[in-house]
Amino acid sequence: MTQPMKKSTYKSQRRAEQEKLEKQRKVMKKLIWGTGIVVLLGIIAALVFTPKADPTNFDYAKLPVLGKQDAPIKIVEFGDYKCPSCQIFSQQIKPQLEKDYINTGKVGMYFMNFPFIGPDSTTAALAAQSVYHQNNDAFWKYYDVLYKNQQDEHTEWATPDYLVQLARNNDIPVDLDLLKKDIDEKTYDKEVSSHAATAVKAKVTSTPTLFINGKEFKGNFSDYPAIKAAIEDALAGKPE
């Protein structure tokens, strides 16, 4: 017959069990606390040491360029030929860039289409791409002509006939019949769409938007001193 457990023995066992449980709780508490610290340190490290987004990689060889292709600073403008702000940039900022940096070999300026204002934004882009593929230098003359003759952004003015007539009236040195054919047949539609897709990927939300050596210029497009400072920093190799 099993003998009943003595009261003193029961208490001793009970105390031993409680002490064991308490030790286990302390161990678990330390493990949880240690794990929390490791996780927290991991989060801090990720925030501190995660590199900034890489510069946008543009295929410069496939874009119209104003200036030297091997210039140390490459500026890409995303624009829409119907955009009034782009007209301001072309007439007020671009000439200063040419004088100070492009003509001196320090900057090469490139253009990409981001047509979003109206259907004829794309028509104008198709015309400009046709001119570019015939003659890079003629592209920049046509670029100036398009902005100089820009009409109300709410009016559909960039028609194929008008775009060809502008080239004719301003002696743009290209085959005008080929220009008309390229516009009508949308020869460079995929190219224009690719430009727009690049703009979306680069998180461009307005025109004109500038990228200096692949990094978006965050200032105002009409603030030439700020643009100049950004170029000087890039020339000096200063990080953002």
Is the pLDDT at 137 greater than 50? The verdict is yes
Is the pLDDT at 238 greater than 90? The verdict is no
SS (H, E, C) the chain: CCCCCCHHHHHHHHHHHHHHHHHHHHHHHHHHHHHHHHHHHHHHHHHHHCCCCCCCCCCHHHCCEECCCCCCEEEEEEECCCCHHHHHHHHHHHHHHHHHHHCCCCEEEEEEECCCCCHHHHHHHHHHHHHHHHCHHHHHHHHHHHHHCCCCCCCCCCCHHHHHHHHHHCCCCCCHHHHHHHHHCCCCHHHHHHHHHHHHHCCCCCCCEEEECCEECCCCCCCHHHHHHHHHHHHHCCCC
What average pLDDT does this structure show over 134-144? 98
pLDDT value for 41: 44
Residue pLDDT, tens place only, 28-79: 566 545 544 444 444 444 433 444 557 899 999 999 999 999 999 999 999 9
Is the pLDDT at 19 greater than 80? The verdict is no
* CATH assignment of 60-236, among 3.40.30.10, 1.20.1600.10, 3.10.20.30, 3.60.70.12: 3.40.30.10
Q: Which two tokens stand for residue 4?
A: 């009943």
pLDDT value for 55: 82
Residue pLDDT, tens place only, 151-210: 999 999 999 999 999 999 999 999 999 999 999 999 999 999 999 999 999 999 999 999
Local confidence band at 6 (pLDDT 50, 70, 90 cut-offs): low
Q: Which two tokens stand for residue 153?
A: 């952004």
Q: How far is CA 228 from the centre of its chain?
A: 19
For the chain, give every domain's residue range: 7-50, 60-236
What average pLDDT does this structure show over 102-109? 98
What average pLDDT does this structure show over 85-101? 98
Residue carrying structure tokens 């979003």: 116
